[in-house]
Structure 1
Amino acid sequence: MPTEVRDISIPRPALPHGELADYELFWRNNYEWLKSRGYVLRARYEPNWKPSWEGTDKSWDKCEDAFRIWFSLNDATRISDGTIVALKQIDERIHPHEADIAQSFSAEPFASDPTNHCTPVYEVLRNPNDQEYVLLVMPFLRRFDDPRFDTFGEAVECFRQLFEGIQFMHKNNVAHRDCTLLNLMMDAAPLYPEPYHPVKTYMKRDFSGEAKHFTRTQRPARYYWVDFGLSRRYNPQDGTPMEAPIWGGDKTVPEFQNSNEPRDPFPTDIYYLGSLIRETFIQEKIGFDFMQPLVTDMVQDDPKQRPTIDEVVARFEKIRQGLSSWKLRSRVVKSRDSPIPSIYRSITHWYRRVTFIVTRVSPVPKA
């Protein structure tokens, strides 16, 4: 079970680690109410929290309660079964459609559709004493490319799922409108034998050591699209939808650069997908040239020239079928990998590779 040190936490305000930031007060103030609804936040957000390192010889950076969460996201333990869940704070005055779209895809007949890669919503919590926000209770997910991909087969399965997920949404008349890097997540629970810390994700949840993990080939992962704050559902009887440009995480959309003219949001989703693969795989890693022709078409300046998601899925399937088992089992190497860690990864990769061949493990893992 190889592991790597990688901290993907977001920079926090320059406050003492034993002091809550303003945005954290929401969680402290709602600690008891959430507990009454069946969810317990970590110690940092208890009303009478005292930093665990105070009065001891321990340094704050060795204590799990020193680290702040993302502004609108927190983790909690579900009391009924001990499951770690994510809580997302939503201001419905700003994002009036998010809860509705997320909930609709979590209900039947959508919930059991294997092509549905929209993050499930277990429950929507509304605090009668705090009408400003609602909380979505969801699976606790991890960034889709952390830990790093071991083989091309693992990356190819990721591509299949991310395309399939947007195809599902488009088929059901919903445009994501921000299907970018930070909104593609992974259910990493199968990869980690012990829970990892929600902020310092390379550490165990209790900070007792580094969180070791399996590869996706050993424990296949499922990917999810999250954050439907900019998403919209359309009535196909109204014809092609036209929306004013709205800026998501990717600021390079060609049709938004020099015009506020309303645009069809579905081709923009295609651009986002192509841009994600171009920047995260083709440009940052070696050997993903096989995706270049499809990606080039997906990121064309003229939205009308881009393929539909159905065409993307069909073309990708032909690409996948053309890849050899040798290619699919080959190791993914980043352009900037350092020599010594790369040698170690190569040795451990070859050990796993031979084992998978002998035991007939598929080169393309499917969750």
Structure 2
Amino acid sequence: MSTIPGTIKPGELWWCKHYQWLEGAGYLLRPRYSPGWVPSWQGTKKDWMDCEDSRGPLIQHILDATRISDGVFVTLKLIKKSRHPYEIEIGQLFSSEPVASDPANHCVPIYDVLHVPNDEDQAIIVMPLLRPFTNPRFDTCGEVVECFHQLFAGLQFIHKQHVAHRDCMALNIMMDATSLFIDPYHPQDIVMRRDYKGEARCLTRTQSPPKYFFIDFGISRRYDANNFAPLESPIWGGDKSVPEFQNSDEPRNPFPTDVYYLGNMIRYKFLLTNNGFEFMEPLVNDMIQDDPAKRPTMDEVVPRFDQILKQISSWKLRSRVIGKEDGHITGLYLGVTHWTRRIGYIIRRVPAIPTP
């Protein structure tokens, strides 16, 4: 194994060793992981950074692949069952009927579970290829509102199945952007086309509305239907600001913590970084209260959000999302292109809140 830039890193060796097994199971890894791989830039004047096969995973236990049967791009997640004993069970719960086809279900579907040969503790979860839910940037207020709607409904649905996610912060919210992109994007460098011959072109979310998903049920738990207030010892997810976990190891009800996670995500990703979302402040402020008992449940959040929507005009919903750090030139360019699209949407009667 070489330390030359662009070549295989230690954390990728597992995938190289299991390339042929995965191929036999119906999933093809990119050429980078195939036996005898020779970097495409080797012996040429190409810069390794300009080559598709130089791109390894950002997270070593998660890799992209192609499903051989139909050419669909998928994500493979290698897990240790002893470390996350409920991840497969909970994931399959949301991927089985009748739960799977419920419109309110926004849990990442599990296509397949592969049990690693000669290792009873390891398994691979096969899921759709998703991308961060904030990339590309939102164009209109209505697009953001639809995102909120899906996430509120999705977390309410999770809770109705008596499951607490316990880590539903920004990094664990993604979207299926397959129809959003004119060119398939590279799974490890999402700005670029999959063939690495330029940047991937995309539509707006109004033109092709995506579906948003909660991912990563590694520390999630499911409870008995009669246990309305389960208690769990604090477990740190990606958001370290949970008030009830500060300076206390006291067991807590994880459902209000989920509400905090989602509210805090909206606060940081939208209210603090963009102008124009003040209408969400009262609800978000309630969701992130220090006292968990004072936070609304998701059954209360959803109807409150529906009431908020009724007070927002179509004109407001079609308005451009303006980042607080957008420069003058950037704002001017985005404003002109936005107004061009906006007039077209109005003429064609495209809904101000785009739904998949």
Report the TM-score when normalising by structure 2: 0.98
Off by >6 Å, runs of 4+ in structure 1? none
336-345 vs 115-124, which deviates more? 336-345
Following superposition, the deviation at residue 17 of structure 1 comes to: 2.6
The yes-or-no answer on 1:143 pairing with 2:132 is yes
Map 1:48-197 to 2 at 5 A. Answer: 48-69=36-57, 70-197=59-186
Distance of aligned partners of 1:15 and 1:277 in 2 relative to their CA distance in 1, 3 Å threshold? farther
* 1:204 counterpart residue number: 193
Map 1:248-327 to 2 at 5 A. Answer: 248-327=237-316
Picking from 334, 341, 344, the partner of 1:355 is 344
Following superposition, the deviation at residue 193 of structure 1 comes to: 1.8
* 1:10 counterpart residue number: none
* 1:45 counterpart residue number: 33
Letter in structure 2 aligned against 1:311: E
The yes-or-no answer on 1:34 pairing with 2:15 is no
SS at match of 2:315: helix
Identity of aligned residues (%): 55
Kept after mapping to 2: 8 A contact 1:17/1:67: no
Q: Number of residues paired by the alignment? A: 354
- State the superposition RMSD in angstroms: 1.1
SS at match of 1:311: helix
Following superposition, the deviation at residue 151 of structure 1 comes to: 0.2
Following superposition, the deviation at residue 250 of structure 1 comes to: 0.3
Letter in structure 1 aligned against 2:132: R
The separation in 1 between residues aligned to 2:327 and 2:60, in whole angstroms, is: 33
Letter in structure 2 aligned against 1:280: K
Following superposition, the deviation at residue 50 of structure 1 comes to: 1.1
Letter in structure 2 aligned against 1:34: L
Letter in structure 1 aligned against 2:63: N
Kept after mapping to 2: 8 A contact 1:163/1:309: yes
Following superposition, the deviation at residue 71 of structure 1 comes to: 1.4
* 1:6 counterpart residue number: none
Following superposition, the deviation at residue 15 of structure 1 comes to: 4.6
The separation in 2 between residues aligned to 1:238 and 1:201, in whole angstroms, is: 42
Following superposition, the deviation at residue 22 of structure 1 comes to: 1.6
Following superposition, the deviation at residue 351 of structure 1 comes to: 0.5
Following superposition, the deviation at residue 16 of structure 1 comes to: 2.8
Distance of aligned partners of 1:28 and 1:132 in 2 relative to their CA distance in 1, 3 Å threshold? farther
Following superposition, the deviation at residue 321 of structure 1 comes to: 1.2
The separation in 2 between residues aligned to 1:21 and 1:36, in whole angstroms, is: 24
The separation in 2 between residues aligned to 1:259 and 1:84, in whole angstroms, is: 43
Following superposition, the deviation at residue 236 of structure 1 comes to: 2.6
Letter in structure 1 aligned against 2:31: A
Kept after mapping to 2: 8 A contact 1:270/1:308: yes
Kept after mapping to 1: 8 A contact 2:6/2:49: no
Following superposition, the deviation at residue 130 of structure 1 comes to: 3.5
Following superposition, the deviation at residue 210 of structure 1 comes to: 0.6
The separation in 2 between residues aligned to 1:16 and 1:141, in whole angstroms, is: 30
* 1:229 counterpart residue number: 218
The separation in 1 between residues aligned to 2:4 and 2:129, in whole angstroms, is: 27
Following superposition, the deviation at residue 132 of structure 1 comes to: 3.6
Following superposition, the deviation at residue 127 of structure 1 comes to: 2.1
5+ long unaligned stretches in structure 2: none
SS at match of 1:224: strand
